[in-house]
C-alpha cells in the first residue's frame, strides 16, 4: 500500500474515541493486507465492477431467453423483467455515486495482518456517510493513498 491501493472492504465497526471529534473505523480488506502506512488520504467510491458484473449476468440470461424463446414460458415477459432489473441496477449505481466520500485523512491505529483488518481514526464528519453505505458496502471500494 505504499502508493495507492483500491480495495474491496467490509465495515466491522465504527468506534467513538475519547476525543469528541475523533472516530475510528475497523475495516477488513477482502483482498488481504500486504503492508500499511501510518497515515492515508482516503476516499470511498462506487465499485463499478460490482455493477458491471451484475449487469453482465443479467445480459447472459437475456441472451439465453431470446436465443431459445421456445424453452421459456412468457419469455417476452421474462426478458422485460430482466431489462427492468438492469435499469434498477443503473439507478442504484447512480444513487450510490451520490454517497461517495471524497478525500479525507485517516490515521492507522492498529493493523492485524492475520485477519486483514485495519483500525483507522477518521474525522467525525465522515461518520454519516459511512453509516449510509454500511449495508451496501459491496457496491463501494476504499482507496488508500
What confidence tens digit (pLDDT) does each residue in 1-45 have? 457 889 999 999 998 877 666 899 999 998 888 888 999 999 999
Q: What is the dihedral of CA 145, 114, 110, 131, to 10 degrees?
A: 70
Alpha-carbon distance 26 to 110, whole Å? Answer: 9
Cα 86 from chain centre: 19
Tell me how many domains the chain contains: 2
Are residues 56 and 91 located together in one domain of the fold? yes
Are residues 121 and 138 located together in one domain of the fold? yes
Alpha-carbon distance 90 to 93, whole Å? Answer: 5
Are residues 112 and 42 located together in one domain of the fold? yes
Q: Residue range 93-115: average pLDDT?
A: 95
Percentage of the chain with pLDDT > 70? 95
Are residues 112 and 140 located together in one domain of the fold? yes
Domain that holds residue 86: 49-96
Are residues 53 and 25 located together in one domain of the fold? no
Q: Residue range 75-100: average pLDDT?
A: 94
pLDDT at 64: 86
The predicted model scores a pTM of 0.85
List CB contacts of 89: < 8 A, sequence separation 6 or more: 51, 54, 55, 58
CATH number at residue 118: 2.40.30.10
Are residues 88 and 124 located together in one domain of the fold? no
Amino acid at each position: 500500500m505504499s502508493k495507492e491501493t483500491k480495495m474491496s472492504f467490509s465495515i466491522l465497526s465504527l468506534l467513538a474515541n475519547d476525543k469528541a471529534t475523533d472516530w475510528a473505523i475497523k475495516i477488513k480488506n477482502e483482498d488481504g493486507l500486504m503492508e500499511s502506512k501510518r497515515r492515508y488520504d482516503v476516499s470511498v467510491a462506487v465499485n463499478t465492477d460490482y455493477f458491471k458484473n451484475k449487469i453482465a449476468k443479467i445480459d447472459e440470461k437475456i441472451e439465453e431467453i431470446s436465443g431459445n424463446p421456445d424453452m421459456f414460458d412468457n419469455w417476452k415477459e421474462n426478458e422485460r423483467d430482466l431489462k427492468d432489473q438492469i435499469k434498477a441496477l443503473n439507478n442504484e449505481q447512480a444513487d450510490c455515486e451520490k454517497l461517495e466520500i471524497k478525500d479525507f485523512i485517516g490515521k492507522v491505529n492498529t493493523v492485524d495482518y492475520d485477519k486483514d483488518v485495519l483500525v483507522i481514526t477518521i474525522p467525525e464528519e465522515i461518520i454519516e456517510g459511512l453509516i449510509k453505505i454500511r449495508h451496501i458496502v459491496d457496491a463501494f471500494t476504499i482507496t488508500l493513498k
